[in-house]
Chains A and B, each alone.
Chain A
Amino acid sequence: MDLTFNEIEAGFRDELRTWLQDNGPGPEPAGEDAQYAWRRDWQRQLHEGGWAGVHWPVEYGGRGATLVESAIFYEELARSGHPLPANILGLLLGGPTLMTWGTPEQKDRYLTPILSAEEIWCQGFSEPEAGSDFAAVKTRAVAQPDGSFKVTGQKVWTSGAQYSKWCMLVARTDVEAAKHKGLTYFLMDMDQPEVQVRPLKQITGEDEFNELFLEDAHIPAENVVGGVGNGWKVALTTLMNERAGLAFGLQVRLRVMIDELTQIAASNGQLEDPRIADTLGELHLRCETLRLTAYRGLTATMKYGQPGPEGSLTKWMWSQTNQLLTQFAADVVGPEALTAGTRWSYELLRARGNTIEGGTTEVLKNIVAERVLGLPKAR
């Protein structure tokens, strides 16, 4: 056991820290479109500096970083206060999925524009009637005589769809096959009139997510990923990547906010109140436990090729802690935290989504019960 960064890891961190001090996206502009453009420019800067695809293999234009270095990247990015790159879904989900399942031509065509943010990616998995029950996807892809597909249906929760060139789309190609056997994974060009994007206003008032309406959208045969009828397996690759990536940066964000609340409570005397001190203690404890548990997951992944039982807990730990934290801020910060337009009120409202997005806590518990503890399939 060595819970410090070794020389190489520390060197990586120091080099990155210096780079993040010397480089940055500048002040955040107002308005969602401008903010997106700002994050896109930021990714171009990261790409030019060689920091866009830290965890991608060198052969695909990445930095070939180890899992620990990749964790350090997200930690340091969060610590610097700079935003995530615009094409985060392409970097974390799309690229790695193509590396596993893509043809040489697909890898050649798509990977570099993901890194440079030239082409933004979004994820078309969820549907109004296929949320946690993802295999219930109804969107239909019908094969045409020339081998291409026409796709009709509706997708929901597609973040960044309005800025995206490519959509990782899962659609049903075989209605006769068993539920998860008739699915196919496509790369769909968003730039066609048959794809309509409608913003979906969420409880924060923002349109972070969208609905997609597909009416005979065209997808050429070469845009199938991993073979027709193999969509469930390919999608699982994407989903596994989704759970692994961001925990370290999110943990640092928690740490920054908890420290800030601690400072506020110390300055206005609330820290003297044992109830306030107790909740702060609980928050510090959970935040640090999250970091340690996430690193334990990396150790297991490096040794056994997959995380141990602890690996399935980090998203659950984080989302619960972020909700506790942002709710607690309403007590410590006071009226400002409940005033519209303030940062704390935004965090409070946004945190409500954390236990739903990327797998609800209920589904995560089912996964832990069935796959980690080996209990019979839930009823």
Chain B
Amino acid sequence: MNFDFTDDQQQIRSTARELLASRSAFERVRGHAEAGTQDDALTAQLGELGWPGIAVSEAHGGQGLGMVELVILLEALGEACAAVPMRGTALAALMIEHGGSADQQTRWLPGLAAGELCGALGTMTGGAAELVPDAVGADVVVLVDPDGAATLHAAADLDIKDVAAIDPTRRYARVTGDVDGDQLPGDVDGGLRRAEVAVAAGLVGVSQRALDMTVAFVKERKQFGVPVGSFQAVGHTCAQMLFDTEGARSATLFGAWAADADPAQLPLGAAMAKASASAGGRATTASAIQLHGGIGFTWEADLHWLYKRAQLDSAFLGGPGAHRARVSALSAQRVAAAAR
């Protein structure tokens, strides 16, 4: 029983965080968010580093590492709130790697893994997929319908319309057209569960950043002649933010580990990760704004990027309620099986 990262994983983590701290500071994120653009230079650099393909098998041109490594990168990207579409590419690759046919894998994975192609994952309801992250500019889009079947679409066959979501650090789209698509015949569930863990990882990063910024602020900000962080009402809210962040991190690491090492536990791990990271992301970013006071509500304070991204990522692939329901159902199944 050991939660420790390997030396290589440790290295990936520190390299990723250092790179993003220097290449994706908030001024840069703000610049892209305000201009409605994405950071193409950073995207190209991440592609060269092989980030999009970190969890893609070597046979398909990836690095052949696992969900734990992908989670490390996505947490770092969430922490930086980086304006890059890499997550969409990684999610599409997960779906194709696990759900795709050999032909589909050969056709798409090498390009996605190398960052030469971009991908996106969306969920269909009533003939359209709303607020699909990273679909604008994607080459390939995987769409999941409500009964869990997934189809693969070349972007050219789809109608992808830019939609201004409240989160301007990513580009979102309404996706319609090509009703048939190309069915993913494989383990679509396995792909989706991994995608949920991947999204949870970004939320953990967002929560961590919200906590770090808030702790730094309340140590400095003085009212009544003392740092506001010395008031228990403030300190206790910060403690709650740590509680929510670390709880979500535990669940997300478990989901990632299960994906790599014990897939039988992946359904529960993914539901736990997405439920707690979604609820945690909403709560920590809301508290961050609250504890910054009036300044936290301003455009300049940069907290709203985190808050807005947490809103979109929490809702994406099912919110906390939907995933708690899955945790509940899976646990009830386990209990019933044990009683038999």
Contacts and interface: CB of A to CB of B under 8 A. Distances in A.
A374 B247 contact: no
Contact of A379 (B231, B272, B324, B326): B231
A314 to B, nearest CB: 10
A333 interface: no
Given A3-B257, A365-B235, A373-B238, A310 B246 contact: yes
B interface, by DSSP: helix, strand, loop or mixed? helix
B105 interface: no
A366 B246 contact: no
A303 B242 CA distance: 21
B332 A271 contact: yes
Contact of B325 (A3, A266, A274, A378): A274
Contact of B242 (A3, A266, A372): A372
Nearest to A69: B1
Nearest to A308: B246
Interface string A254-295: 000011001100100001001001101110111011001101
B335 A1 contact: no
B229 A375 contact: yes
B251 A285 contact: yes
A310 B276 contact: no
A199 to B, nearest CB: 34
B261, B262, B268, B335 pick with most chain A CB within 10 angstroms: B335
B306 to A, nearest CB: 18
A324 to B, nearest CB: 13
A305 interface: no
A369 B236 contact: yes
B35 interface: no
A277 B325 contact: yes
B332 A1 contact: no
Given A281-B275, A296-B250, A365-B239, A375 B261 contact: no
Contacts of A373: 211, 215, 235, 238-239, 242
Contacts of A366: 232, 235-236, 239
Given A277-B328, A372-B242, A298 B1 contact: yes
Given A368-B242, A374-B215, A3 B328 contact: no
Interface of B: 1-6, 9, 68, 211, 215, 218-219, 226-227, 229-232, 234-236, 238-240, 242-243, 246-247, 249-251, 253-254, 257-258, 261-262, 268, 272, 275-276, 321, 323-329, 331-332, 335-336, 338-339
Given A2-B261, A3-B258, A375-B238, 13 more contacts: A3-B1, A3-B262, A4-B261, A259-B335, A274-B325, A277-B325, A278-B321, A281-B323, A286-B247, A295-B1, A295-B3, A369-B229, A376-B229
Interface of A: 1-6, 9, 68, 71, 258-259, 262-263, 266, 271, 274, 277-278, 280-282, 284-286, 288-289, 292-293, 295-296, 298-300, 302-303, 309-310, 313, 316-317, 362, 364-366, 368-370, 372-379
30 contacts: A1-B9, A3-B1, A3-B254, A3-B258, A4-B262, A5-B1, A6-B1, A258-B331, A259-B335, A263-B336, A278-B321, A278-B325, A280-B332, A281-B324, A281-B327, A284-B331, A289-B272, A292-B250, A295-B3, A296-B3, A298-B1, A303-B4, A310-B249, A317-B243, A364-B239, A366-B239, A369-B236, A373-B238, A375-B215, A378-B230
The 9 A-B pairs with the shortest beta carbon distances in the complex, nearest first, are A369-B235, A281-B328, A281-B324, A368-B239, A292-B250, A299-B3, A375-B229, A376-B230, A365-B239
